[in-house]
Copies of this chain bind each other. A is one copy, B any other.
Amino acid sequence: MDYKEYLSLLPGPVSVPRRVMNAMLKPIIGHRSREFKELYTRLQEGLKYLFKTRNFIAILSASGTAAVEFAIANTISNGDKVLLIDTGFFSGTRASKTIEAYGGIPIHLKAPLGYAPTYDDVMKALDNHRDLKAILVVYSETSTGVLVKDLKDICIEANNRGLITIVDAVSAAGGVELMVDDWCIDLCASASQKCLAAPPGISFVSISEKIVEEVYRCKPRSLYLSLREYLEYSSSSEVPFTPSIPLFYALSEALDMLVEEGLENRIARHRIISKAFYNGLEVLGFKPLPRLEYRSPTIVAVEPPENISVDKVVSMLRDRYGILVARGMGELRDRIIRIGCMGMISSMEVFYTLQSIENTLIEFGCKIEPGSSVLEASKTLAGSLCI
C-alpha cells in the first residue's frame, strides 16, 4: 500500500506541498484547549483573507459538498424556490439533489455547453420568477471548467432584490477574483483541497449577518450542519464537533502560504498558467470546452483531437508520466479531459504535462510539430512575473 507519488492535476484533490503535509504531524491537541482556540482564530483570519470578508466562517470537518449543503440546510425550507445557474454536474444534478433533500424547489437556468448564463439571462429569470427565495451559483463549475463570469453583478442585483445569494466557490476561491462582502454573497462555500493545496477533508462557509440574524427563526434540519451550533461554539473560538485536527493544522499552513504569496499574485498565477495550458493544448488539436470568456482559470477542460480517446490520454499520462488528470463527468465522461490548474501550479507543471501529451499523441500516430505546444506555452508565459 505504498503508492506512487503522482503529480496530481486532478480537479481536486491537488498535489500538496511537503510543508503543508508535514504540518499534519503536529501534536494531537484537545479541541477545547487554548491551543485549539489559537489555531481556530488563525484559520478564521486566513479564511476571511481568502474570501475578502468580515463575515463569520463556519469551518467543517467534511468535504466541499457538505459546505454547500450547510448553506442550503440553514436557509432553504419546504417549498422555497431556488434559481440554479446550471453549468454542469455540481450546479445541476448535485445542487438540485441537495435543495430537494431540504424540501426546496430548484429552478434551472441553463446556457449552451461551454457558456454560462450572463447577467442579462439571470435578470430575465429573476423577472420571470418573482417568488424566489435564493439564487445558487457555482462560480467555477468543476465538471465543465465554465466560469460564471458575471457573478459579481448577478449577486449584487439578486441581493438588491432581497434574495439570498449562495455561491459554491469550491474550485474558485484562491484561484479567481472573489469578493464576498463587496459582491453581497450571503453564503460562500469552499474547501481545502483545491486552490489552497491542502489535503482534502475540510470545508468552510462564510455567512453574512443577514443569515445569522435569520437562522434562529427556523428549526434546524441537521445537527452536524446546523449554523446555530457553529455560531454558539464560535463565541469561545471552538467548533461544535470533534474537528479533524491534523487537517486543521495543514489548512493553517496552506493559508500561511497564501498570505506569503499574496492572494492577488495567486489569482494572477492561476490566470496565466491556465492560459498557457489552453494555448499549448489548442496547438495540439485539443478543443477547449468553455468559450474564451467563460473559462475558469482553475479547471482546464478540453476535447481531445479526433480519433484520440479520452481514456487513452488519461491512462498514458498516469501510467507513463505519473500525471493525474480527469475525464469528464456524466455525459461528458468520454468527451473531455479535465486538468486541475489549482494550488501551487506553475510553468513547471505546464511544460511537463504538455511535453507528455505531445509524446503521447506522437505515440498514437498524430502528426505533431515537436515542441510546438511547449513553445506556445512559453510564448504565453513570456514576461509574466508569476509563473
Contacts and interface: CB of A to CB of B under 8 A. Distances in A.
B200 A245 contact: yes
A61 interface: yes
A93 to B, nearest CB: 11
Nearest to A32: B326
B241 A244 contact: no
Interface residues of A, number: 68
A244 to B, nearest CB: 3
Interface in A33-74: 33, 35, 38-39, 42, 61-66, 69, 73
Nearest to A70: B224
Nearest to A192: B244
A30 B98 CA distance: 24
A341 interface: no
Interface in A1-27: 1-6, 8, 10, 12-16, 21-22, 24-27
Contacts of A250: 246
B28 A15 contact: yes
B24 A224 contact: no
Interface in A119-173: none
Contacts of A3: 26-27, 29, 35
A200 B243 contact: yes
A224 B30 contact: no
A23 B326 CA distance: 25
Contacts of A30: 8, 10, 13, 324, 326
Interface string A221-249: 11111100000000000001111111100
Interface in A50-106: 61-66, 69, 73, 94, 97-98, 101-102
Given A61-B61, A225-B224, A4 B27 contact: yes
Nearest to A226: B101
A290 interface: no
Nearest to A97: B223
A201 interface: yes
Contact of A191 (B10, B28, B225, B242): B242
Interface of A: 1-6, 8, 10, 12-16, 21-22, 24-33, 35, 38-39, 42, 61-66, 69, 73, 94, 97-98, 101-102, 191, 193, 199-202, 219-226, 240-247, 250, 252, 324, 326
23 contacts: A3-B27, A5-B27, A8-B28, A8-B29, A12-B242, A13-B245, A22-B25, A24-B199, A25-B25, A28-B199, A63-B224, A65-B240, A66-B241, A94-B223, A98-B223, A101-B221, A102-B221, A200-B242, A200-B243, A200-B244, A200-B245, A202-B244, A244-B244
Given A65-B223, A66-B241, A199-B245, 17 more contacts: A1-B26, A1-B38, A13-B242, A13-B245, A22-B25, A24-B24, A61-B62, A61-B201, A63-B242, A63-B243, A65-B240, A101-B222, A191-B242, A200-B242, A200-B244, A201-B243, A247-B247
